Amino acid sequence: MATKPSTQPNLWRQISTFFYLRPTLSFVLLLAPPLLWLGVVYLGSLFALLIQSFFRLDDYSGKVVREFTLATYEQLLTRANLDIITRTASMAATVTLACGLLAFPLGYYIARFASPRTKGFLFLAVLLPLWSSYLVRVYSWKLILAKEGIVSWFLAQLGLSGVLETLLKLPVIGGPSLSFSSMGMFFVFVYVWLPYMILPIQAALERIPNSLLEASSDLGARPGETFRNVVLPLAFPGVVAGSIFTFSLTLGDYIIPSVIGNSSYFIGAAVLSHQGTSGNIPLAAAFTVVPVVIMGIYLFTARKLGAFDAL
């Protein structure tokens, strides 16, 4: 009776002591699962993808030839495929730019002016859409942007139907209705990815001590100069982080282009159809490498521009 309760804690104590005295072992045990996940599932699959892109599809048999070749990349660089890449990249760039322009003032307000209450409310407002299904939201937008949808109706009430029609007649961004145009697709992309831009920008702005802004104005800088010389450079890592999200998410998305828009191909949709319908896994893999390369170049440039100097 007297010995029994004391052996139980002793065993735990021994285990605790065992690990306390071997911090390296504890670290290894704790880090092994995430590292395995990261190494095998993330990087492993990415690597498999990269290898696939150097195989090719035999046109006659429809089978993948598992030999090293650059033929698939040659195919990737044909006119039609380059169009898809340019279309996707320019959409991603415009969406990122628009998200940045919309997110910065809001992030600035949340970080520097909002009271704790307002801040909480705005956070909720920014995050709330992310709690609902992405598909539901995209299909809702299809209805909102449709010819008989609320946007057309509202513009008609304002007597601005003419403006919408003129815009839809424009080449490239136009189409039969907003829900079948690049313009409409652009709106939906900006809508779904905006929170991913607001949050990092807000976090970066939040980290700028007030005294830096005071120091700048103390040294003679007007508010605009302070913004250009202090706020913007220090918030830049946040802008880059946000743009990585919006840019890469737009590059890879295949649902919005297939639901909204004029059914011209985007990278995501091309990958889907190449690996599914036509079974051309190597070309699908090569297409997937494109966003990775673009993001790599983007990050490299951002680094060269000093985006991460203040980190």
Q: Which residues have C-beta within 8 Å of that of residue 45, sequence separation ≥ 6?
A: none
In the set 12, 211, 293, 304, which binds other proteins (CB under 8 A)?
211
Which x/- pattern, by CB under 8 A, does the window 165-204 give for other proteins?
----------------------------------------
The stretch near other proteins (CB under 8 A) out of 74-82, 98-106, 227-235, 293-301 is 227-235
Q: Does 221 bind other proteins (CB under 8 A)?
A: yes
H helical segments located in 146-228: 150-157, 161-169, 182-206, 210-218, 223-226
DSSP line for 136-156:
HHHHHHHHHHSTTSHHHHHHH
Q: Which residues have C-beta within 8 Å of that of residue 249, sequence separation ≥ 6?
A: 192, 193, 196
In the set 72, 179, 216, 243, which binds other proteins (CB under 8 A)?
216
The helix-helix angle for 23-36 and 4-20 (nearest 10°) equals 80
Residues paired with 56 in a beta bridge: 65
Q: Does 209 bind other proteins (CB under 8 A)?
A: yes
As given in the structure block, the two tokens for residue 138 are 């995209």
Distance CA 2, CA 47 (A): 60
CB of 98 to other proteins, least distance (A): 26
Residues touching other proteins, count (CB under 8 A) = 20
Q: How many Å separate Cα 103 from the centre of its chain?
A: 14
Q: Which helix (H) or strand (E) holds 13?
A: helix 4-20
CB of 112 to other proteins, least distance (A): 15
Q: Does 306 bind other proteins (CB under 8 A)?
A: yes
In the set 166, 229, 278, 301, which binds other proteins (CB under 8 A)?
229
The stretch near other proteins (CB under 8 A) out of 65-73, 120-128, 218-226, 285-293 is 218-226
The stretch near other proteins (CB under 8 A) out of 120-128, 190-198, 229-237, 279-287 is 229-237
Q: Does 303 bind other proteins (CB under 8 A)?
A: no
Distance CA 258, CA 246 (A): 18
CB of 216 to other proteins, least distance (A): 7
Q: Dihedral of the CA atoms 84, 267, 74, 90 (nearest 10)? A: 50
CB of 284 to other proteins, least distance (A): 42
> Is 185 in contact with 256 (CB distance < 8 Å)?
yes
CB of 228 to other proteins, least distance (A): 11
SS3 track for 250-267 = HHHCCHHHHHCCCCCCCH
Tell which positions 231-270 bind other proteins, by CB under 8 A.
233-234
Q: Does 212 bind other proteins (CB under 8 A)?
A: yes
CB of 235 to other proteins, least distance (A): 10
Q: Does 305 bind other proteins (CB under 8 A)?
A: no
State the CB neighbour count (10 A cutoff) for residue 81.
19
Q: Does 214 bind other proteins (CB under 8 A)?
A: yes
Q: Does 222 bind other proteins (CB under 8 A)?
A: yes
Q: Which helix (H) or strand (E) holds 24?
A: helix 23-36
* Residue ranges binding other proteins (CB under 8 A): 209, 211-212, 214-222, 225, 229-230, 233-234, 306, 309-310
